[in-house]
């Protein structure tokens, strides 16, 4: 058998990516061993793709011991949905889809109106419904602490009450690699295996592990509009405001989510290595550049997390 040495024999040092991967793998296994019904949130975005990749590695040679869940706002990029379905088929995974449209149809939520309407906020209701109906007690999310200041305060195991709510002042102390997953029926734990990864770590890992992503993440020509200092994709979900004229630009996405509030950036980075170089040099955070929903208020994310969002 062929053995290779990933580390120097004498120093016994892990590279930072190997250390971050080991931490994530430990968390996946811990949850699989101690919870009854875990589920992994999968949107087809880069963080959830990396999370899925690390999860699959954690359980090799066995299959993933939990299904995946996608909360579909109905306003997703076509390329991302296609990628989602191809990934699921290729890996033989179980995927459940919870649709915001179902909650709109049933009158549990009401569609926002106006040109800046977004379904992003509505998906919290759908997510909580899916967790309840699926009886899930642990929900893996790809959120990272470097993304946003409220997320910087998150634990790896984040307790949610029967309403799915986060109470930042009553978080459980989290020490060493010991995690407290205690909960009662109806309560659940959000689990963030990528807590300590940065955007650059994610991209270096994608490059090193040769992980496939939706093509949106690499430079391509697309019709866009300028709004509030961001570039929004001119999709069928976007209503134009007076004075906005779509134009063609070479762009790529740093995050993908609901198409109505996810912006793109002008870029010529067409390969993972080029993206790594671009991310290393950028002076704007990914959410600052591309997320309209974070601009609502100083504590926009904290408020949504309190309601049950990730």
Segment 178 to 207, residues that bind other proteins, using CB under 8 A: 178, 180, 182-184, 195-196, 198, 200-201
In angstroms, what is the minimal distance from the CB of 294 to other proteins?
9
Q: Which of 74, 97, 102, 171 binds other proteins (CB under 8 A)?
A: 171
Nearest CA-CA partner of 290 in 53, 120, 141, 155: 120
Reported as type and span, the H/E element at residue 189 is strand 188-191
Q: Which of 37, 99, 117, 153 binds other proteins (CB under 8 A)?
A: 153
Contact 278, 250 (CB under 8 A): no
59 lies in the site for other proteins, by CB under 8 A: yes
In angstroms, what is the minimal distance from the CB of 191 to other proteins?
15
Q: Which of 82, 94, 152, 240 binds other proteins (CB under 8 A)?
A: 152
| Whole-number Å distance between alpha carbons of 110 and 228 | 25
In angstroms, what is the minimal distance from the CB of 259 to other proteins?
21
Q: Which of residues 207-236 bind other proteins (CB under 8 A)?
A: none
| Whole-number Å distance between alpha carbons of 135 and 85 | 24
DSSP string, 214-244: -GGGS-EEEEEEEETTEEEE--TTPPPPTT-
Q: Which of 35, 159, 205, 310 binds other proteins (CB under 8 A)?
A: 159
Q: Which of residues 80-119 bind other proteins (CB under 8 A)?
A: none
Q: Cα 149 from chain centroid?
A: 16
Contact 45, 74 (CB under 8 A): no
In angstroms, what is the minimal distance from the CB of 260 to other proteins?
20
| Whole-number Å distance between alpha carbons of 246 and 264 | 14
Q: Which is nearer to other proteins, 277 or 284 (CB)?
A: 284
276 lies in the site for other proteins, by CB under 8 A: no
Q: Which is nearer to other proteins, 72 or 147 (CB)?
A: 147
């Amino acid at each position: 058998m062929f053995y290779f040495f990933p580390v120097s024999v004498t120093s016994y040092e892990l590279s930072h990516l190997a250390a971050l991967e080991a931490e994530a793998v430990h968390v996946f296994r811990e949850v699989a061993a101690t919870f009854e019904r875990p589920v992994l949130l999968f949107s087809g975005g880069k963080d959830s793709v990396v999370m899925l990749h690390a999860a699959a590695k954690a359980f090799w040679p066995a299959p993933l011991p939990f299904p995946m869940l996608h909360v579909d706002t109905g306003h997703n990029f076509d390329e991302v949905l296609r990628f989602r379905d191809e990934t699921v088929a290729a890996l033989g995974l179980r995927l459940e889809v919870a649709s915001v449209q179902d909650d709109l149809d049933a009158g549990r939520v009401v569609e926002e109106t106006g040109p800046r309407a977004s379904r992003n906020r509505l998906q919290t209701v759908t997510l909580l419904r899916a967790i309840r109906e699926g009886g899930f007690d642990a929900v893996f999310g790809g959120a990272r602490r470097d993304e946003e200041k409220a997320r910087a305060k998150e634990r790896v195991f984040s307790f949610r009450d029967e309403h799915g709510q986060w109470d930042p002042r009553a978080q459980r102390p989290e020490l060493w690699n010991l995690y407290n997953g205690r909960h009662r029926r109806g309560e659940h734990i959000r689990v963030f295996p990528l807590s300590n990864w940065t955007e650059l770590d994610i991209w270096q890992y994608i490059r090193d592990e040769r992980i496939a992503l939706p093509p949106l993440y690499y430079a391509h020509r697309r019709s866009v509009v300028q709004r509030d200092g961001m570039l929004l994709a001119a999709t069928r979900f976007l209503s134009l405001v007076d004075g906005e004229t779509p134009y063609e630009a070479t762009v790529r996405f740093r995050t993908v989510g609901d198409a109505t509030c996810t912006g793109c950036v002008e870029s010529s980075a067409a390969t993972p290595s080029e993206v790594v170089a671009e991310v290393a040099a950028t002076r704007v955070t990914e959410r600052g550049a591309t997320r309209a929903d974070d601009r609502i208020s100083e504590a926009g994310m904290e408020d949504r997390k309190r309601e049950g969002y990730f």
